[in-house]
Amino acid sequence: MTTPEDIAGQAAELHRDGIAHFHRGELARAVEKLEAALALAGTRADFAADLGVVQQAAGDLDAAETNLRRAMELAPGNADFTYNLANLLADMDRSDAAEGLYRHAITLDPEFAAAHNNLGNLLKDARRYREAGECYRAAIAADGEYAPARRNLADALEAAGETAEAEAAYGAAIHLRGDAGTRIRDALLLPVIPSSLDQIEAFRERMQSRLENLLDDDLRLTDPPREVGATNFMLAYHGLDDRAIQERIAQVYEKACPDLLYRARHCDQWLAGMEGGPMRIGLVSAFFHEHSIGRLNAGLIEMLPRPEFEVHVFSISRARDAMSARIEAAADRFHALPPDLATAREIIAAAELDCLHYPDIGMEPLTYFLAFSRLAPIQCAGWGHPVTTGIGNMDYFISSRRVEGEGAEAAFSEKLVRFDDFTNCIDNPAQGLDLARDQGGGPLLACPQSLFKFHPDFDPILSRILGENPSARLEIIGGSRDNWTRLLRQRLAGTVAGADDRIRFRERMRREDYLRFLHGADVVLDTPHFCGGVTSFEALAVGTPVVTLPSTHTRGRLSLGIYNQMGYRDCIAADAGDYAGLVSKLLSNRDFAAAARAEIAAGAARIFDNERAIAQHADFFTRASFEG
């Protein structure tokens, strides 16, 4: 006769077997054993919770939720079970419910470091950055040895622009657990809003020194997007030649994770120019939605000629809006990529592309790390993040003769391709928009660029412009993080006379209001070293002159390229003094300002809906397919 004790013993043995299978990665067998254990011991909350966690790992999220809720019902005061359900709901993008459960778990156990930490991650994803930082600090207060919270706090401080605090936090995280991902993030640390040229120089030297140390060490990464979780995005904003550093960073990753150099099987069987059928072109990005990258590339996706080309779009974006719908409808094949590197590259490889185009390498981690693989025989980058990648498997960088200066190829690890026209076929964003200028309030200068584009070299130019035009005011759009605005306001207060009274930081605006803001300005000020791209298109679309100072590298020459495409050059400055002089002339000389607006209006047709850019992409893809 089987006794209750016998049944309990059988259930316990099945549970132990299930956990052992789980630890060996045998998820199906683990689920089978744990289900059997729970069938024998239906009131064991821990059995239900463990089954739910394993089902979540196996991807059966609905079943996982059922069993995790069962565990909570059986043991409503258990903080661990509440935490497990919160983790599941967070993975299911049910953020509000997950937040409530994390907070409940913390109420049950105020010293629950992991719950504080994961609540911080949830709030960071919701752009509630201050609250996220408070959660990471609470996790550290609860358990000073909890390394994930140390690392996450460092990440948060870096993103907020608190560079010194971030450096200290990375040091503390490395002291606890010197994993490769944290050491790389520490090496790549840069200020978001540099306080000075000296700070830029110091942090670049710091980066190069740490990269050399990392190359000397035996680092190991298995999942770089997860373990590192960022790119060296801010490096490009210094106005310097980044090729050597970019190549060094790529070497660090290749050594630490040789699996990054994955090679799709069809690449070895591909014969240049002899494949037959339509050429299969892929474009991959996390920003194929209402974003500058979506606006820059929608025309190419729509208008590459069929049937000569078969266009595959690989989108990492979860956003759903009019632009994402437009891009999905335009693609011959649309592939939604998961955030997992191995799965994403298998999906791309399965398409057996002839050419894979990355519009914006460096703007986020997944596409950056995908670019290390050979997923198509031809791979190219665009100027969505206009700096060389330094990655050996990236063959071409697509730019334009309108943009690039003599000798520009030296700054690229890729072969630089110069189209005759500007490279993008972009819609006129002001088409159909009702615009009326408000002439009141004195001369208005607008600088709509992201705050991390405000290089310290720009400060004396701004000071001179405001000094020469005492009635003018400057309006800047505040940062997506409040602390960026605070840091730039603080720097300008020390470098630009009268900044507190004459420089205003505006709230971020809806798109139509933003275009009206540009239209109402007398002059749009372009940022040196890393100028406007889409923002320059937008300002010119509403007829407002953009004064630009081209620099050496692509990222400082895009506005120049747009003006060259337009056939108008009177607002292109030769140097800092000329820049300030052009702004003053536009404000003081009505005839010059009116002529500028007239030339811009007349030239708009040459920069928008430019189908020659599509033809030049098609020609390039075809030529590259024969060159191999």
Structure confidence at residue 396 (pLDDT): 98
Structure confidence at residue 438 (pLDDT): 62
The residue-averaged pLDDT of 95-99 equals 96
Query: Are 296 and 426 spatial neighbours (Cβ–Cβ below 8 Å)?
Result: yes
Class of domain 262-427+611-627: alpha beta
Task: Name the CA dihedral angle for 81, 83, 86, 92, rounded to a multiple of 10 degrees.
Answer: -80
Tell me how far the alpha carbon of residue 445 is from its chain's centroid.
Answer: 29
Taking the complete model, does pTM exceed 0.85, yes or no? yes
Percent of the chain, pLDDT > 90?
91
d(CA 355, CA 381): 11
Structure confidence at residue 274 (pLDDT): 61
Domain ranges (residues) in the chain: 4-185, 262-427+611-627, 444-607
What pLDDT digit, counting tens, does each position of 12-27 carry? 899 999 999 999 999 9
Q: Give the Cα-Cα-Cα angle 200, 202, 208 (nearest 5 degrees).
A: 100
Structure confidence at residue 6 (pLDDT): 73
Structure confidence at residue 440 (pLDDT): 62
Structure confidence at residue 3 (pLDDT): 82
Residue 362 per-residue DSSP state? T
Which residue's structure tokens are 């996390």? 286
Q: How far apart are the first and last CA of the chain?
A: 75
Confidence band of 85 (pLDDT split at 50, 70, 90): very high
d(CA 299, CA 627): 26
pLDDT(245) > 90: yes
Alpha helices in 405-532 (DSSP H): 458-468, 482-495, 499-502, 511-520
**If DSSP codes are grouped into helix, strand and coil, which group holds residue 335?**
strand
pLDDT(338) > 70: yes
**If DSSP codes are grouped into helix, strand and coil, which group holds residue 308?**
coil
CA dihedral (206, 207, 208, 212) positive or negative: positive
The residue-averaged pLDDT of 287-301 equals 97
d(CA 555, CA 413): 16
Q: How many residues does the chain have?
A: 628
Query: Are 227 and 353 spatial neighbours (Cβ–Cβ below 8 Å)?
Result: no
Structure confidence at residue 1 (pLDDT): 63
Structure confidence at residue 272 (pLDDT): 60
What pLDDT digit, counting tens, does each position of 502-558 carry? 999 999 999 999 999 999 999 999 999 999 999 999 999 999 999 999 999 999 999
The residue-averaged pLDDT of 416-422 equals 97
CATH architecture of 444-607: 3-Layer(aba) Sandwich (3.40)
Structure confidence at residue 5 (pLDDT): 81
d(CA 446, CA 341): 40
Query: Are 170 and 154 spatial neighbours (Cβ–Cβ below 8 Å)?
Result: yes
Query: Are 315 and 324 spatial neighbours (Cβ–Cβ below 8 Å)?
Result: yes
- Mean of the per-residue pLDDT values of the chain: 95
Q: 422 phi and psi, to 5 degrees?
A: -60, 150
pLDDT(439) > 80: no
Structure confidence at residue 437 (pLDDT): 63
d(CA 466, CA 583): 10
pLDDT(189) > 70: yes
The continuous run of DSSP H or E covering 563 comes out as: helix 558-566
Q: What is the CATH number of domain 4-185?
A: 1.25.40.10
Q: 505 phi and psi, to 5 degrees?
A: -100, 115
What pLDDT digit, counting tens, does each position of 477-489 carry? 999 999 999 999 9
- Whether the domain at 4-185 and the domain at 444-607 fall into the same CATH topology: no
Beta bridge partners of 309: 279
